[in-house]
Structure 1
């Protein structure tokens, strides 16, 4: 899909972006816009936001019952990159020494090889056992957050590795979280809504492929698009 950017001569309002919600209480959320570090974090109505999980994340590995191979796993320290999604990641063998990793939403993070460190949102090394793996052997990695962990939002940053490279929500009001200042509360649309993608705000230099991938991530939360 080719997106067009529509400019506004008047201040942006919620109805520019948000065309329908199932229910205000369900579809919208009060979130936290993280204070800037090096520059202000600025969100306007329609800014696509990524999420960073602030606090300790942990990972638990479990090979699936019925596997042929007896491969083992060792996590790096830390095992999970800051801002990674919570939930169950899957490791699926494509050959005796090659595997694919998918995040909790089924998005592929990459392929890895036994004996070589896999470094992405998860950081681990799988070691082949005495019995080789076969196609379809698998393991689950469950990522959870400590009770003190919090989620903070920033404008989506496709070059980041802290979770803010993934589309999480869309801002419904203008807020500035100043550099070195305080976090700000911000109203967002999080799920079960219809939006006009032509009024979204993206980072400078965002490519069509990056924007389309982010829109696909939003659709996982049933934020669908109806262009004007």
Structure 2
């Protein structure tokens, strides 16, 4: 019997990229953030995130003077995620309930980003909890959260691997790695990492997902990528 050999090769770009409108337009050279304690490693097919600032953003809460309910909205720490926008978020009671209620949360553009339940943490662009008061909330009771002071931090604009559990901007899918790259401990890598950024079609089996990612997190990531023109297909 002849001996049988098998060899596993690392993913190449053709394992991920099915089509792109033009390499000069679809790809982008990016800076990989320095490793923290260890080398930071990116491989072809990993979803990338662009770091934003959240630490220096202020989120001020205002209570509508006409509110019937006297419950309090308290911001979490951190108060925002990397997806936050500067401006005024509105939190409006749409379904009153005894000792509870449902609030619609809208971003500064007036677009709904979800609903918040009294007594439960809301953890999207802005992060807060509404506590029940001695007087129940009524329909149209509202809070406003003014987000401002988005100072750029030293790492803003640098790329890391996507992390759906983070709050520093790395939870926001931004692109897909088209090359392997390593940033040494304490030293950024300004040249060498190329990202697929726009008007591309990718193979689903070429995506390298982080350990522990859930199907729900995958679905959200793929939806966010598609909004940027990065489409992932199973065939």
TM-score when scaled to structure 1? 0.69
TM-score when scaled to structure 2? 0.67
Return the match for 1:200 from 202, 207, 216. Answer: 207
| Larger Rg belongs to | 2
Give the corresponding residue for 2:230.
223
Q: How many residues align?
A: 214
Give the corresponding residue for 1:176.
182
Work out the CA distance in 1 between the residues paired with 2:104 and 2:38: 37
Deviation at 1:30, TM superposition (A): 2.3
Deviation at 1:169, TM superposition (A): 1.4
Return the match for 2:85 from 76, 82, 87. Answer: 87
Deviation at 1:37, TM superposition (A): 2.2
Work out the CA distance in 2 between the residues paired with 1:221 and 1:136: 35
Work out the CA distance in 2 between the residues paired with 1:190 and 1:205: 25
Aligned-partner SS, 1:224: strand
Range with greater deviation from structure 2 (29-38 or 189-198): 29-38
How well do the aligned residues superpose, as a CA RMSD in angstroms? Answer: 4.0
Give the corresponding residue for 2:3.
none
Deviation at 1:218, TM superposition (A): 0.9
After the TM superposition, which residues 89-108 of structure 1 pair with which residues of structure 2 at under 5 Å, given as runs? 91-96=91-96, 97-101=101-105, 107-108=113-114
Deviation per CA, 1:39-79: give whole Å up to 9, x if none.
3321111111233324754256698xxx9759997756764
Gaps of 5+ in 1: 1-7
Give the corresponding residue for 1:113.
118
Q: From the superposition, tell whether residues 125 and 210 of structure 1 become closer, same or farther in structure 2 (CA, over 3 Å).
A: closer
Gaps of 5+ in 2: 1-6
Work out the CA distance in 1 between the residues paired with 2:153 and 2:166: 23
Return the match for 1:187 from 184, 188, 194. Answer: 194
